[in-house]
Amino acid sequence: MTKRGMLIVLSGPSGVGKGTVRKAIFDQNNNDFQYSISMTTRQPRPGEVDGVDYFFVSKEEFEERIQTGGMLEYAKYVDNYYGTPLKYVNETLDSGKDVFLEIEVNGAMQVRAKSPDGVFVFLTPPDLMELKQRLIHRGTDAMDVINKRVATAVGEIKMMQNYDYAVVNDEVNNAVEKIKTIIRSERLRVTRVMPDYLGMLGEMNS
Ligand code: 5GP
């Protein structure tokens, strides 16, 4: 029987650069994991191609998919739906290949609830600790605005505790290498390797 693939989820606060890091990973052609193309109701940006960057669909089509259980997860983000079509993920995992998702935090938590054995990576901004000081020193925002910004940032960073790994996005290539190292290490986890040996032990004993 083929061993089921591993699900890898890259997520993190808005604006941290998830899309840039994901593109940099898949610009390298030596990956042994598959990108799951998301579905969205937002309009394509110039240069974006249907079926490559996203599956661009209408609101009606997306809602129909939700109703019929066709999405692994979905979220509304800035008035548009974003989600992961379930069929591709299941078929790819069943064929033994690993699947990579790049999604926002609410969707990631839905996946965590459904697939706790996935690998959850939180991409985090490098300069949060300095944020308040920088905002104060800059002197352009009122203190209540500064506090709101810091509170939002802190709230987003607290989501980190729901993940397995935190990768600081200080420099795209560094982040890419760290994420690839995580994937390589996770494949070597005893809980992922052991089932192969249990099968072999069973055969030897029979
Ligand atoms: P953008 O419109 O800039 O391409 O994406 C907006 C946000 O949606 C980003 O944070 C991106 O990670 C997130 N996103 C992209 N695809 C999915 C998806 O399939 N599910 C969820 N939950 N979020 C997604």
Per-residue confidence band for 203, with pLDDT thresholds at 50, 70 and 90: confident
Per-residue confidence band for 114, with pLDDT thresholds at 50, 70 and 90: very high
Check pocket membership of 14 for ligand 1, CB cut-off 6 A: yes
State the pTM of this model.
0.90
Contacts 24+ apart (CB under 8 A), 189-194: 192/6
Check pocket membership of 132 for ligand 1, CB cut-off 6 A: no
pLDDT digits (tens, 9 = 90+) for 9-27: 999 987 788 999 999 999 9
**Nearest atom of ligand 1 to the alpha carbon of 42:** 2
pLDDT at position 129, please? 59
CA 166 / ligand 1 centre spacing (Å): 19
pLDDT at position 78, please? 81
Calpha distance 69→80 (Å, rounded) = 19
Which residues belong to the annotated binding site for ATP?
Answer: 12-19
pLDDT at position 152, please? 76
pLDDT digits (tens, 9 = 90+) for 124-143: 988 765 667 767 777 777 88
CA 97 / ligand 1 centre spacing (Å): 23
Q: Token pair of 156, please?
A: 């987003």
pLDDT at position 88, please? 98
pLDDT at position 131, please? 67
The percent of residues in the chain predicted with pLDDT above 70, rounded, is 97
Query: Best of 79, 103, 122 to mutate for ligand 1, by most ligand atoms within 8 A of CB?
Result: 103
More confident residue, 29 or 186: 186
Q: What is the DSSP string of 73-137?
A: EEEEETTEEEEEEHHHHHHHHHTT-EEEEE--HHHHHHHHHH-TTSEEEEEE-TTHHHHHHHHHH
pLDDT at position 182, please? 98
Calpha distance 165→178 (Å, rounded) = 10
Query: b/e string for 154-191 if b means 16 or more Cβ within 10 A?
Result: eebbebeeebebebbbeeeeebbebbeebbeebeeeee
Taking residues 191-202, report their average pLDDT. Answer: 86
- Residue of the CA atom closest to atom 17 of ligand 1: 103
Residue 171 has pLDDT above 80, yes or no: yes
Taking residues 94-113, report their average pLDDT. Answer: 96
What domains can be seen in the chain, in order of their start residue? 7-36+97-205 (3.40.50.300)
**Nearest atom of ligand 1 to the alpha carbon of 38:** 19
Phi/psi of residue 126, each to 5°? -80, -25
Average pLDDT value over all residues in the chain: 91
Per-residue confidence band for 154, with pLDDT thresholds at 50, 70 and 90: confident
